[in-house]
Amino acid sequence: MLFGTSGIRGGISDKVTAELSMKLGQSLGTYLKGKGKVGVGMDARTSNHMLRNSFIAGLVSTGTDVVDVGLVPMPTAAYFSTKQGISASVIITASHNPPTDNGFKFFVNGREMIRLEEKRITSLVESGKFRIAQWSEIGRVSEAKIRDAYLHDLRQFLLKRDDRGGGMRVLVDAANGVASNYTPHLLTRMGFTVTTLNANLDGHFPGRPAEPSPRNLTDAMALAEARQFPVTLCHDGDGDRVAVVDEDGEFIDQNRVIALFAREEIRRRGEGQVLVSIDTSSVIDEVVKNEGGYVERAPLGSLQEKLANKDHNIVLASEPWKPIFTNLGLWMDGIVAAARIAQLVNSQGKGSCKKLMKSIPEYPLLREHIRCPDNLKKEFMRRIKGLVKEFTGVEKIIEVDGVRLEFADNSYLLIRVSGTEPKARLYIGARHERRLHDLADEARRMMKRALENCSNGD
């Protein structure tokens, strides 16, 4: 499978090669029939210049013009695809993956390509039937600096929602990624006093791994506590994610951050729908319902399918770490999310992230996985859907991506297979630790039984 749940990713020696990069450029140019312009950006990975050059060569060979926007965060590349005359934009990035990997993500009108569009690109890559421009029709390459325009529009969006920073201190851990040149500048322009960590661009990610998970944020968490920063904001390699740490160095669960954003957007509009991925917590449902809104869940990596349909009232969409503010655009944006959190800590938390988050419930969560070979995944899920009928107190079953059970006591359980790794994943949320462990024990037994039966052919 070429496209996964978040674009194309893989090792540069065995999947995301220069050869594939050129074919992707040829495929996109052929898909666009050589018309319009394509924006091309990249994060700071060491393989990006190689991939950018081969991708652009493929594009211009079809007669498609290219605007090279250089080193940009993923949200900035998506933003550029909304500009007049731009048919699509592409960023070369592997997001939070290790430095040995790279990848591509495609945008049209500010949103990620939907599955149908990705399938057409894949078909062209596989067939090799590319448009070939005549010598006089070869595409042209120009350059553009888009940071200031992007940050200006973000600042305008944010200041419609809240006041300036008033000098409040903020720590930004940019993971040596491209957000280093964006989030600190935006926050400074909004009146915050910014201290940075891991803010020099380096595709080796020397400061910490690019994924902003608690195990990778020990330095930021320690500094946040030692210096009592009111809030600490931590990015991944390309800026579509943000993680939040409070003044005591404690990591804030991403589901609570989504719930906070959802609450604020619904309050602004008086109503609305919140679209979240299947793996998110029921704390979002509780907060949204209290504000008069409602929640819909979609398969992981498929929010854009719903957003592409303009006939909706979605005020916020999000996967864990990656919110989409639909009034701004249809892309995941960790940079605007970081600034919005800082605003809320300043205005509602009175300079305390911990105080701000007291208004959002906190419940125990569990996330783990077992090994599940790719060739057994389909049968494994078939068996799981039969076994989960043994659970009692189930109010709702959602089967858009795996199987999610929602119980009368507001606990939930999700079992799904990974789209990118040989794993079956288990997610559980409950109001109390005892309930969490009871659900986990039963779910583990079911997953083990389902996998054993698959292996034995029973």
Of 27, 95, 277, 302, catalytic? 95
Q: At what angle do helices 18-31 and 115-127 cross, to 10 degrees?
A: 120
The order of strands in the sheet holding 322-325 is: 294-298, 273-277, 314-319, 322-325
Closest CA to 430 of 452, 449, 410: 410
User: Which tokens sit at 224?
Assistant: 């946040």
User: Which tokens sit at 241?
Assistant: 């994610």
DSSP states of 303-359: HHHHHTS-S--EEEEEETTEEEETTT-SS--HHHHHHHHHHHHHHTSSS-HHHHHTT
DSSP 8-state code for residue 113: P
User: Which tokens sit at 74?
Assistant: 């993923």
Task: Measure the CA–CA gap between 72 and 91, rounded to whole angstroms.
Answer: 8
- Give, for 42, the enclosing helix (H) or strand (E): strand 37-42
User: Which tokens sit at 254?
Assistant: 């991403």
First-last CA distance in the chain: 29
Q: Residue 396: phi, psi to the nearest 5?
A: -150, 140
Q: Are 275 and 314 in contact (CB under 8 A)?
A: yes
How many CA atoms within 13 Å lie on the side-chain side of 295? 24
**Residues 6 or more apart from 108 whose CB is under 8 A from it?**
81, 87, 88, 117
Catalytic residue list contains 180: no
Could you list the beta-strand ranges (E) of 215-272: 231-235, 242-245, 251-252
Q: Residue 218: phi, psi to the nearest 5?
A: -60, -40
Q: Are 266 and 292 in contact (CB under 8 A)?
A: yes
Task: Measure the CA–CA gap between 87 and 64, rounded to whole angstroms.
Answer: 10
Kindly tell me the number of DSSP H helices and DSSP E strands found in the chain. 14, 21
Active site residues: 95
